[in-house]
Structure formats: C-alpha cells, structure tokens
Amino acid sequence: MKLFVIGATGRTGLEIVQQAPARGHHVTAFVRSPESITLRNERLTVLKGNAIDENQLFKAMQSHDAVLSALGPREVFKPSSLLYDSAFATTRAMKRSGVERLVVLSAAAHFPGIPNRIVSFILRNHMRDSLRMEEVVQNSGLDWTIARPPRLTEQDYTTYRSREDAAPKMGFSLSRKAVAAFMLDAIEQKKHFHKIVGIAK
C-alpha cells in the first residue's frame, strides 16, 4: 500500500516510518523538518510540508491508500490547536483527494476513570485539543480509526492488546513500536472502521 504519514519525525511516527517499508508498503513522510529523518529506504519518500495546510496536504497525498497521524505538540502544557487544525485540514484534503482510510493517534486519558481524569486535568490543554481532533475525525465521513494508548515507552516489543470503545484492563503503558504496529495492522487488516480503540501492553 501507499501510506501517507503525518508526525513522521516524532518518536511514534519514526516507528511507523521504519516498520511500514519493512512490511512492503511505500511511505510518504510529510514533515516540517525533512533533515530529522536520516533513515534511507527506496520505499520511503520524505516531503516537506505544513501539517495544518489543507492545500499542501491535498497536493501531497494524491494516490495514497491511507493516512496515519502520529502528530503531537512538542510542548504539552501550552495551549495549542495543532491536533484540531491538522485533523481539520487533513480530513478535508482526504475528502478532496479521495483517500478514505485514516488512522490517528489519540490518548487513553479520554476514557473514563479517576486516573484518566487526573491526567486529563494535568494535561488539560493538550487533552482539549486531542478531544477536538477526535470529534473532527469522527464527523469526517471517512473510514477512520482512533487509537488511544496509555503512557508511551521506548521499549522493544510490537505486541499489544486492543479493545474497541474501552481501554484494555490493567493496561498502563505501551511501547511506541507497538503503537505503530497497531496502526499498520488496522490498515492492513481493514479493522476497527469507525471505532475508538483502546490499546495497551
């Protein structure tokens, strides 16, 4: 498949960019700083662009099969509308270009429960933006999947548990490698259409 990745220079995004070509996919990494991607692969194309610019996204994503977003603010405590703005621009660009499949990264803190409420309060600026992003995605009319992991780690495994509309029980962390694997599995296996999916170790 031909995959279009937003947030490809991030810690999770880089995992997607590494794993996808190894699975036989062609990847376009749409990034603001191409020099951040030192990986070289004949199936990887790095394009410089603005993740909130609908027209740039539209031109760049032509003829792709799916879009994956692992975007996140570099400063989580500051007010930001990055995720909302990017979701708005991305979903409109997808509708215009006929790309229907979208898998985005969100956060388990949106699930109910007291620990999640505490995290949501501490990270309230980021969580507000993330929830608004989810709303845009859910109302997009696209074939979307929203992945909600708990705390992300740099551990070296790609397995995960997943549960639609809820967090997996006692799942407190997940490796970024496993998040990438889940996002790619959802696309390859045509699973979790129009679903929020809790994922965890």
Interface residue list for ligand NAP (CB under 6 A): 7, 9-13, 32-33, 36, 51, 70-74, 82, 105, 107, 130, 149, 151-152, 176
Question: In terms of CB distance, is 101 or 111 closer to ligand NAP?
Answer: 111
In this complex, which beta carbon is closest to ligand NAP, that of residue 46 or of residue 99?
46
* Smallest gap from residue 104 Cβ to ligand NAP (A): 9
| Cβ proximity to ligand NAP, 11 vs 163, nearer residue | 11
Name the token pair of 72: 């996140």
Is 62 or 153 the residue whose CB approaches ligand NAP more closely? 153
Q: Minimal distance in Å, beta carbon 63 to ligand NAP?
A: 23
Neighbours of 122 (CB within 10 A): 13
Beta-carbon contacts of 127 under 8 Å, excluding residues fewer than 6 positions away, are 107, 109, 110, 119, 120
Pairing state of beta strands 143-148 and 151-153?
Answer: unpaired
13/184 Cα distance (integer angstroms): 11
Residue among 11 and 43 whose Cβ is closer to ligand NAP: 11
What is the closest distance, in whole angstroms, from the C-beta atom of residue 189 to ligand NAP in the complex? 22
Nearest residue to ligand NAP by CB is 10
CB 80 within 8 A of CB 73: yes
* Alpha-helical regions (H) of the chain: 11-22, 54-60, 82-97, 114-122, 124-138, 176-188
To the nearest whole angstrom, how small is the minimum distance from the Cβ of residue 185 to ligand NAP? 17
Question: Would you say 58 and 96 are in contact if contact means Cβ atoms under 8 Å apart?
Answer: yes
Least separation, in Å, of the C-beta of 82 and ligand NAP?
5
